Every structure is written in C-alpha cells, then in structure tokens.
C-alpha cells in the first residue's frame, strides 16, 4: 500500500468514514469553499481619507517611512529626495512595470529588471495595500519580480491611494477579480525585515531590507 493510501486510510478510520458521512462532508466542504465566510474584523472608517490615514499610521508603526505625493509622475523626484536625505545611492533596480516613469529626469539611474545581489535600492509598486495592518500586497509576475522587494537593503514602494483597501479579505477579492488565479507568489509586506531571535530584541534588516519607504500617490 502506498503511504498516501495508508495515511488517508487511517484518517478515514479515525473519522469512521462511510458513504453517508462522506456525502455530508463533501457538502460541508463545498459550502465552505463557496461561502468563504469572513471572521470578525476590527471596525474601521472606510472613507478614502481615513483609509489613507490608517494605512500611514500603521505603516509607520511597523518602522516604515511614508511620503505622500499628488500624482505618479511626482514619485521619481520624491524618491530622489528620500535617497539624498538618507545618503543612499542614486541607482536602483525597479520592477519592469515602472519602466515608463521619468527616472533620469529626477537624477536617478534606474534599471527595470529582476533583482541581483549587488542591487542596493529596489523600487516597486504594489498590487494593493491593506489599511488594517499597514501592509503591502505584492503579486509576482514578469513585470513585478518578487526579489526586487527582497534582495536590496532599501525597498521603496509606490502605492496608489485608491488601491488602499480596508482588510486583507478585500485584497483577496480584488485579486480574484483582476487576476483570476493567484500568482506564484503573493507577499504581504509590513515594514523592514526583522528578527528578535537574540534576547527578543527587535533588530531591523535580518535577511531582507533594512528600510522600507512608501511613496503614496494621492491622485
């Protein structure tokens, strides 16, 4: 007998599986998958202004820094200002989806491609953002490679205010609506990578970025 059959056989024995309860079980399973019941969620003012504010506050609580600009074309200059202020290099890798922005006009040398170990700054967009926890939802694709938000020491993300949703549940619904099936990797990011493994003292920059900076586009 294969291990699969052996294991499932013992699970079935434990559940006293028979024709009748299997039918009931299948029905319950189908209902769970169809209904997608949501659990209790913290109450939230979901007006666009309140969502933006909550997202900003929660992001900052995660040690993320936040800048707000009027339109997407302002983002390169805002990023250049941040890099200058932080004394960081002016060259970066960006997700190919951001190739059209005028990076050189802002004095930046930006290469739209996947990330390499030597990249010090990674610029991304995001699929959407979650106000409840101050979280970015990243969906991988050829245009949005996952490693750009992971390998560089600095991760900068452009977030469109209209894509800030109240809850993670809303993010799933948006993904179902716009993408159909899930991409290979959905990464929810809430601030710089961190560890508390030595004396439970939180240190930023474990294996991923040391800093996460958001440029929120209001338009």
Partner 1 sequence: MEIKSMHFKANASAKLADVVLQGNLKNAKGKFVTKRAEAIKDLDDFEGTRDAAVAIRNKVIDNLDLWLERFEQKALDTGAQVLWAKDGAEVCRLVTEIAKRHGVKKVTKSKSMLSEEAGLNQALEAAGIQPVETDLGEYILQVDNNEPPSHIIAPAVHKSLSDVADLFHKVHGTPRKTEIPALTREAREVLRGHFLSAEMGLSGGNFLVAETGSVALVTNEGNGRMVTTMPKVHVVITGIEKVIPTLEDLSTLMRILPRSATGQSISNYFSILTGVKRPEEHDGPEHLYFVLVDSGRADVVGGDFHAMLRCIRCGACMNHCPVYQTIGGHAYGWVYPGPMGSVLTPLYAGIENSIDLPHAATLCNQCGIVCPVKIPLPDLLRKLREKQTERGLRPLTERIGLRLWAWVAQRPTLYALGASLGARYLKWLAGESNRIRLLPTAPEWTLGRDFPAPQGKTFRELYAARRNATPRA
Least gap, CB of 162 to partner 1 (angstroms): 21
Question: Does residue number 57 form part of the binding site for partner 1 (CB under 8 A)?
Answer: no
Least gap, CB of 26 to partner 1 (angstroms): 6
* Of 145, 158, 164, 166, the one binding partner 1 by CB under 8 A: 145
* Of 20, 42, 49, 177, the one binding partner 1 by CB under 8 A: 42
* Of 66, 72, 89, 113, the one binding partner 1 by CB under 8 A: 113
Question: Does residue number 46 form part of the binding site for partner 1 (CB under 8 A)?
Answer: no
Q: Among residues 106 and 175, whose Cβ is nearest to partner 1?
A: 175
Question: Does residue number 195 form part of the binding site for partner 1 (CB under 8 A)?
Answer: yes
Cα 21 to Cα 25: distance, rounded to the nearest angstrom: 6
Least gap, CB of 219 to partner 1 (angstroms): 28
Q: Among residues 22 and 162, whose Cβ is nearest to partner 1?
A: 22
Candidates 122, 178, 126, 111; CA nearest to 149 is 122
Cα 179 to Cα 171: distance, rounded to the nearest angstrom: 11
The DSSP annotation for 71-133 comes to: SGGGHHHHHHHHHHHTT--SEEEE-GGGTTS-TGGGT-EEEES---TT--EEEE--SEEETTT
* Of 128, 135, 165, 211, the one binding partner 1 by CB under 8 A: 135
Question: Does residue number 118 form part of the binding site for partner 1 (CB under 8 A)?
Answer: no
Candidates 39, 37, 203, 36; CA nearest to 132 is 39
Candidates 141, 140, 151, 124; CA nearest to 209 is 151
* Of 53, 67, 111, 169, the one binding partner 1 by CB under 8 A: 169
Strands 135-139 and 128-130, bridge-based pairing = antiparallel
- Rg, the chain, Cα only: 22
Candidates 178, 154, 131; CA nearest to 82 is 154
Question: Does residue number 177 form part of the binding site for partner 1 (CB under 8 A)?
Answer: no
Q: Of 59-78, which residues contact partner 1 (CB under 8 A)?
A: 62
Cα 192 to Cα 150: distance, rounded to the nearest angstrom: 10
Q: Of 16-35, which residues contact partner 1 (CB under 8 A)?
A: 16-17, 22, 25-26, 28-29, 32-33
Question: Does residue number 38 form part of the binding site for partner 1 (CB under 8 A)?
Answer: yes
């Amino acid at each position: 007998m294969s291990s699969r059959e052996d294991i499932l056989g013992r699970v079935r024995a434990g559940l006293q599986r028979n024709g009748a309860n299997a039918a009931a079980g299948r029905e319950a399973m189908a209902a769970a998958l169809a209904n997608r019941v949501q659990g209790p969620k913290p109450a939230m003012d979901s007006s666009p202004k309140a969502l933006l504010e909550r997202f900003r506050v929660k992001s900052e609580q995660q040690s993320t820094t936040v800048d707000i600009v009027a339109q997407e074309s302002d983002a390169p200059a805002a990023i250049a200002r941040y890099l200058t202020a932080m004394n960081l290099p002016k060259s970066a890798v960006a997700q190919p989806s951001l190739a059209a922005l005028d990076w050189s006009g802002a004095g930046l040398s930006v290469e739209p491609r996947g990330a390499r170990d030597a990249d010090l700054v990674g610029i991304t967009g995001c699929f959407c953002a979650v106000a409840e926890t101050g979280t970015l939802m990243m969906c991988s694709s050829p245009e949005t490679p996952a490693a750009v938000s992971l390998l560089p020491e600095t991760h900068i993300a452009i977030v469109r205010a209209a894509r800030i949703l109240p809850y993670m549940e809303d993010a799933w619904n948006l993904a179902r609506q716009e993408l159909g099936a899930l991409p290979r990797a959905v990464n929810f990011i809430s601030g710089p990578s961190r560890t508390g493994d030595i004396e439970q003292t939180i240190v930023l920059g474990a294996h991923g970025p040391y800093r996460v900076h958001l440029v929120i586009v209001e338009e």
